Amino acid sequence: MSCMLTYAIRNLPASSAWAARGFVRPLSCSLPLQAAVQPKSKKTLAKNGVKNVVVVEGVRIPFLQSGTTYADLMPHDLARAALQGLLNRTSVPRDVVDYIVYGTVIQEVKTSNVAREAALGAGFSDKTPAHTVTMACISSNQAMTTGVGMIAAGQCDVVVAGGTELMSDVPIRHSRKMRKTMLTLNRAKTLGQKLALISKIRPDYFAPELPAVAEFSTSETMGHSADRLAAAFAISRLEQDEYALRSHTLAKKAQEGGMLVDVVPFKVPGKETVTKDNGIRPSSLEQMGKLKPAFVKPYGTVTPANSSFLTDGASAVLLMSEEKALALGYKPKAYLRDFVYVSQDPKDQLLLGPTYATPKVLEKAGLTMADVDVFEFHEAFAGQILANLKAMDSDWFAQNYMGRKSKVGAPPLEKFNTWGGSLSLGHPFAATGCRLVITAAHRLKKEGGQYGLVAACAAGGQGHAMLVELYPQ
């Protein structure tokens, strides 16, 4: 299958023109933060008999490279900071919140239900239930849509959703042999039994089990899969570096222009107050070209420069039914409309979730790509983004792999991730989804659009897409 995909897609129309039409244009067409444009008048996506669910506000603490300022904290510390930032910005009474849902990927065993621990730490009522979800890089998307379901079903009026990830301190386990010995030793009753067990310990028992960003079903790392995907779609190293440079350049402009208003400051205990993301580093194609392949050596094209980096961070959004938000005196930012989750082959289509999810969510809403004003896609790797754009613009791929009559079409880059993306802003696995949604809402307001499309891939060959509609101004 992989060989057929590689052969066929290499013969698709070349997409290297993306650089010419997209690398410069978004830099010049981004609107100033202060210039909120009057949105276009289109139909609303409201449905009869279905409650309108709105995003009242969304925040995140600064996303930092792992091993930096957050290194001595725990995941619930980051989540607590995001929740406190949300409370400070909205002044929502804590006892009004009916439920809290949080996502996380690399779980800290001491706080397995990190949603509950973070909520208690942030001062929410101990009567407010909270649970934790995990769905790889779309964990906070799952947290949000869980909240949407609760509100739409009439079970709740106010839900806080979010995600947290701390890659600076991931669980490292003893080997299984050592774990088994230690558990058995705990049950030993006599000194003789204990000494007998200890005598069986061998040097290899002490080899730790290190976590890896690899698929359990295929044992392949995501970076290796991204490299194969880029090769299958004939995406060059230069194209990937150009796209990564675009992401960093746009993120830097957005940061300096005050557009990243979802970021709230975080006073790290015993350290300084962190106020901005620290992974935004525009470089040059010359410097990026000097880096060696990170996964497929020596001829791969995925490098540290065109990949998202390990990141610590947390995010939170306040969701309400429209009626409740208005009753409490809030002006919502956006409606959360149709959404879908998809799954496909984790071996050869691990990172193609947006390609599969986008046409499905558009069909549910009765929209086309031309109706969408803002696109916010998760950038795991530059090659992954470019492969998705190429697949979305291919009739052949749609017909042979998706069972569709025709392509959905690629998003125009002047509407695509124009405030940067995960390559530059960072990617705390479970926190990115909330960032995508709130950024889409902010961009819709500033750029005068009505519909935003959020999409992301995830481990396991899964994916997600959601439509965000600007709340009437």
Catalytic residue among 29, 137, 156, 434: 137
Contact 209, 172 (CB under 8 A): yes
Active-site residue, selected from the candidate residues 3, 29, 434, 457: 457
Q: State the pLDDT at residue 39.
A: 53
Do 315 and 163 form a contact (C-beta atoms < 8 A)?
yes
Supply the pLDDT for residue 471. Answer: 98
* Residues 309/429, Cβ–Cβ less than 8 Å: no
DSSP per-residue codes, 115-181: HHHHHHHTT--TTS-EEEE-BTBTHHHHHHHHHHHHHHTTS-SEEEEEEEE-TTS---BPPHHHHHH
- Predicted TM-score (pTM) of the model is 0.91
Mean pLDDT confidence for 180-188? 94
User: 305-355, pLDDT tens digit by residue?
Assistant: 999 999 999 999 999 999 999 999 999 999 999 999 999 999 999 999 999
Ranking 15-24, 74-83, 332-341, 428-437 by mean pLDDT, the lowest is 15-24
10 confidence band (pLDDT: 50, 70, 90): low
C-alpha of 174 from chain center: 30
What is the DSSP track for 58-110?
A: EEEPPPEETTSTTTTS-HHHHHHHHHHHHHHHH---GGG--EEEEE-SS--GG
**Cβ neighbours of 67 (radius 10 Å):** 12
Per-residue pLDDT, 36? 52
Determine whether 434 is an active site residue.
no
State how far the Cα of 462 lies from the Cα of 138, in Å rounded to an integer: 9
Sorting pLDDT into bands at 50, 70 and 90, what band is 473? confident
- Over residues 259-307, the pLDDT tens digits come to 999 999 999 999 999 999 999 999 999 999 999 999 999 999 999 999 9
> 457 an active-site residue?
yes
What are φ and ψ of residue 464, in 5° steps?
Answer: -150, 150
Report DSSP state, residue 469: E
Cβ proximity of 106 and 165 under 8 Å: yes
* Mean pLDDT to the nearest integer, 449-465: 98
